[in-house]
Amino acid sequence: MANSSKKIKEIGEDLLIKRITKGLPLGEDVVAGAGDDCAVITNNDSQSYLLLKIDCVIEGIHYMKLTPPSAVGYKALSRAISDIAAMGGTPKHAMISLSLRPECNVSYVNSLYHGLLKASSPYNISIVGGETASCGKNGTPSVTVSLTGEVRKDHCCFRSQGKSENALFVTGKLGKSLNGHHLRFTPRIEEAQWLTKKFKPTAMMDLSDGLASDLPRLAKSSNCGYSIETKTIPRTRGASIKEALCDGEDYELLFAISSKNCKNLETAWLKKFPSLALTRIGKLSPKGTANPDLKGGWKHF
Amino acid sequence: MANSSKKIKEIGEDLLIKRITKGLPLGEDVVAGAGDDCAVITNNDSQSYLLLKIDCVIEGIHYMKLTPPSAVGYKALSRAISDIAAMGGTPKHAMISLSLRPECNVSYVNSLYHGLLKASSPYNISIVGGETASCGKNGTPSVTVSLTGEVRKDHCCFRSQGKSENALFVTGKLGKSLNGHHLRFTPRIEEAQWLTKKFKPTAMMDLSDGLASDLPRLAKSSNCGYSIETKTIPRTRGASIKEALCDGEDYELLFAISSKNCKNLETAWLKKFPSLALTRIGKLSPKGTANPDLKGGWKHF
């Protein structure tokens, strides 16, 4: 392949994932593979889909050596829960792979598990397996979570079914997550389930890499463009527009919905979730149109 | 807790996992959580269990910087397949989390995926998701695999149902895996499915940390002791008894079976799998007895 001699930092995560997952053989039971927030598996005997997610956090990248281990555990699992939310699902079973230095204290691991339990308990997630491996004395510790979920087939929400002229909404406020939100956020499980049940968004995802990276992904998945008013974007106190667009780690929901449902949605939302902002930021547009062209967002490499 | 100030290398993986998984709340659908080769989830609508596994390989520990990336991918997925085999199951859906240096070449990732595909294709496993994250310029790369499987409820084989006087068998030959076997082994899916269907082992596991570590785990799970003749252990050419017991990474099956079925098993095995050794190495014994007391096996920390 022409680009094989390039470094992965030169081609970026999206293109890398696209290249390596293109042509992977998928069984007939795979409704969605790589490219959505979760993989979606069907089972003819069941009215629900099985959702599958894997995600890791790495010391020095997603958390620091001095981050309290309970916060590391909470974040590691909550990120995966947020992806289950993005499909409208219910998280079910988690497995945890810890890669740690041999010098690590047992108390660190205990605290990390306290954080995992803090994240799992509101949803009655069962932590059904764990393994620990040594990353070596000078290695880089990490926590990888695999999480299953389930969702009623008629409530499952993909990234790919958005239509031009659908309204775009985001929950909460964006930007400056590194001030603390990235360690303490609440995955939007309840909100997403309510949305998929009552208003059937045509496309939905969670915002992990920043609206500027994630909105183009949703639009592309739906074969659309997008048109947003960047000054309407809901911002965390003190965040600039650029920070709201590009900081990442918001873990809020971005979704598209038929524009004729907007008023009803806004009224019902205010009643159901009075303390969580819901903001209409623009709309999906025909493929090839994008105004403004967003730059930035979190780059993995 | 009394041992919290200890380092994890001082208490070892088994005790660490036992401590952190003790008291984790498990839903009613969890048949087996941490402590067996896979987690086992039941679903009342189905005649099968869902099996879940997570496993990682780390550069410098499970493979080297110069190990061909296709071999790294093959090993990473095959290890998890071996755990599905240990339950008598069929592997179904894999997700891959890659942690890589930004300087890594795209060709490395392509080759790694070729190795994953080489491992998945004999079993029609669907690779349904992937993520890549940066471990940082000086970080430690790793590959984490999460794998689902399924097994008919009446064919599922745990570690915990072995009985005193059950005969103990191992497949293949043990020891000196680092000469190459650890990168090229064939998970014993076919053999395990045949065994669970035809002979219902009372307990089974795959040998990843060496018989000296793994047999005591199986015996303990079954609330038994064990009695083996170390000189009968099938050895890879050139391997000493100690190497066969302790090297690890054999990825063969260890199982217990009612002693009255031994002759039938040995005859049927020879006919079905003429090129793979099956060796009776001893038996399970009453709890508290263990002769010889095995020392060694792979230590994770």
Over the stretch B72-107, which tens digit does the pLDDT of each residue have? Answer: 999 999 999 999 999 999 999 999 999 999 999 999
Mutation pick from B128, B148, B153, B209 vs chain A, by most beta carbons of A within 10 Å, is B128
| Each residue's pLDDT tens digit, B129-176 | 888 888 888 889 999 999 999 999 999 999 999 999 999 999 999 999
Nearest chain B Cα distance for residue A36, angstroms: 9
Respond yes or no on whether ipTM tops 0.85: yes
Q: Which residues in chain B (44-83) have CB-CB distances under 8 A to chain A?
A: 45-46, 50, 52-56, 58, 60-62
What span, in angstroms and rounded, lies between the C-alpha atoms of B216 and B161?
Answer: 14
Question: What strands lie across the sheet with A278-285, from one edge to the other?
Answer: A203-206, A253-257, A167-171, A278-285, A225-228, A290-291
- For position B28, what pLDDT does the model report? 94
Nearest chain A Cα distance for residue B270, angstroms: 34
What span, in angstroms and rounded, lies between the C-alpha atoms of A294 and B5?
Answer: 49
Residue of B5, B6, B45 lying closest to A45 (CB–CB): B45
Residue of A1, A20, A103 lying closest to B9 (CB–CB): A103
pTM: 0.94
Task: Give chain B's end-to-end CA distance (angstroms, integer).
Answer: 20
- Rounded to the nearest integer, the mean pLDDT of chain B is 92
| Each residue's pLDDT tens digit, B27-41 | 999 999 888 899 999
**Strand partners for A52:** A39, A148
- Residues near B196 by Cβ (< 8 Å), separated by ≥ 6? B88, B151, B155, B156, B157, B204
- For position B1, what pLDDT does the model report? 45
Answer whether B153 touches A (CB < 8 Å): no
Q: Which residues in chain A (87-106) have CB-CB distances under 8 A to chain B?
A: 92-93, 95-97, 99-100, 102-106
Segments in chain A below pLDDT 70: 1-3, 291-301
Q: For residue B300, list chain A residues with Cβ-Cβ distance below 8 A.
A: 132-134
Q: For residue B132, list chain A residues with Cβ-Cβ distance below 8 A.
A: 8, 13, 16-17, 300-301
| A253-257 and A167-171 beta bridge pairing | antiparallel
If 0-12 CB within 10 Å is exposed, 13-18 middle and 19+ buried, where does residue B65 land?
A: exposed
* Cβ pair B218, B227 in contact under 8 A: no
* Cβ pair A210, A252 in contact under 8 A: no
| Each residue's pLDDT tens digit, B213-251 | 999 999 999 999 999 999 999 999 999 999 999 999 999
Answer whether A124 touches B (CB < 8 Å): yes
| Each residue's pLDDT tens digit, B130-142 | 888 888 888 899 9
Closest CA to B78 of B70, A218, A208, B301: B70
| Greatest Cα-to-Cα distance within chain A, rounded to the nearest angstrom | 59
Nearest chain A Cα distance for residue B278, angstroms: 29
| Each residue's pLDDT tens digit, B184-222 | 999 999 999 999 999 999 999 999 999 999 999 999 999
> Cβ–Cβ contacts within 10 Å for residue B156, how many?
22
**Strand partners for B198:** none
Q: Coil, strand or helix: which one is B56?
A: strand
Nearest chain B Cα distance for residue A4, angstroms: 4
Residue of B54, B126, B136 lying closest to A61 (CB–CB): B136
- For position A15, what pLDDT does the model report? 82
Element (H, E) at A113: helix A106-120
Answer whether B43 touches A (CB < 8 Å): yes
> Cβ–Cβ contacts within 10 Å for residue B99, how many?
27
* Cβ pair A91, A149 in contact under 8 A: yes
Answer whether B61 sits within 8 Å of A135, measured CB to CB: yes
CA dihedral for A123, A124, A129, A133, sign (positive or negative): positive
Q: What are phi and psi of A134, to 5 degrees?
A: -85, 130
Beta strand extents in A81-139 (DSSP E only) = 90-100, 126-134
Answer whether A61 sits within 8 Å of B109, measured CB to CB: no
Residue of B43, B148, B301 lying closest to A102 (CB–CB): B301
Answer whether A130 touches B (CB < 8 Å): yes
What span, in angstroms and rounded, lies between the C-alpha atoms of A231 and B173?
Answer: 68
* Cβ pair B49, B151 in contact under 8 A: yes
Q: For residue A102, list chain B residues with Cβ-Cβ distance below 8 A.
A: 7-9, 301
Find, in chain A, the residue whose alpha carbon is nearest to that of B94: A52
Determine if residue B51 is left, alpha or beta; phi over 0 gives left, psi from -120 to 50 gives alpha, anything else beta.
beta
Answer whether B135 sits within 8 Å of A140, measured CB to CB: yes
Closest CA to B49 of B139, B155, B140, B128: B155
Q: How many CB pairs under 8 A join A and B?
A: 280
Cα-to-chain-centroid distance, residue A25: 25
What span, in angstroms and rounded, lies between the C-alpha atoms of B37 and B299?
Answer: 17
Compute the C-alpha angle A10/A16/A20, nearest 5°: 145
* Cβ pair B120, B127 in contact under 8 A: yes
CA dihedral B220, B223, B229, B235 (to 10 degrees): -40
Amino acid identity for residue A179 in this structure: N
- For position B137, what pLDDT does the model report? 86
Spell out the domains of chain A, with CATH numbers in brackets: 8-155 (3.30.1330.10), 167-291 (3.90.650.10)
* Cβ pair A74, A183 in contact under 8 A: yes
Answer whether A86 touches B (CB < 8 Å): no
Find, in chain B, the residue whose alpha carbon is nearest to that of A31: B128
Element (H, E) at B220: helix B211-221
- % of chain B residues with pLDDT over 90: 78
Closest CA to B199 of B47, B66, B88: B88
* Cβ pair A191, A249 in contact under 8 A: no
